[in-house]
Amino acid sequence: ANTGAFEVGDRVILQTKIDGSNAQLAWEDGELKAFSRKNELNMNNNLRGFWNFVQTLDKEKFRDLGNRCLYGEWLVQHTIKYFPESYNKWYVYDMYDKDTERWLSQDIVKEFAETHGLIYVYTYYDGPFISWEHVKSFFNQPIYGDKAEGVIVKNMTKLNDPDNRNPFLTVQFHHGV
């Protein structure tokens, strides 16, 4: 339904879709805080170990997160089966700036993840949008297990475009999932 937001030549990034739990980091009140999709996490509500993972991070190293939120997928068992070594890891995929109310470029997200020793989610392709058939060509290329859930398609050309009512991101699910 949202494919009209993607035009031939737009810069797109195709990433593997991971079937885990949405988890985020934020620097608030001088602390590194962990969140699920809807709640701040703590020792008792730890999103199957994500809060515990955050406790192992060098918090001072994350001061430069500032007023931005870092999003990723905490890989715990759901529907899709992954390789055992892929579980209980955080795969970073987005960053949001609360001051400007804008999503940041994947170049910034990837650099932040790498600089801070985090895993940036596997990227199949970064280049001009060719076609939906091209996107589908990545469906049978699982990275973290025997199957992939799908492919995330991000349009960097239309990221935060106020004149475009269509989303800059869509998920193409593998037809076999």
Mean pLDDT of the residues in the chain: 90
Structure tokens at 33: 């805080």
- pLDDT exceeds cutoff 70 at 171: no
- pLDDT exceeds cutoff 50 at 177: no
Using alpha carbons, list the distances in angstroms from residue 32 to 88, 136, 148: 19, 38, 31
- pLDDT exceeds cutoff 90 at 165: no
Using alpha carbons, list the distances in angstroms from residue 62 to 39, 81, 88, 144, 169: 20, 32, 20, 27, 27
Dump pLDDT digits (tens) for 35-74: 999 899 999 999 999 999 999 999 999 999 999 999 999 9
Residue 127 to residue 125: CA distance in whole angstroms: 6
Question: Which residue is it, tokens 């239309």?
Answer: 158
- pLDDT exceeds cutoff 80 at 12: yes
Q: What is the pTM of this model?
A: 0.91
Closest by CA to 148, choosing from 70, 86, 72, is: 86
Dump pLDDT digits (tens) for 145-159: 988 888 999 999 888
Q: Which residues contact 97 (CB under 8 A, 6 or more apart)?
A: 67, 68, 103, 104
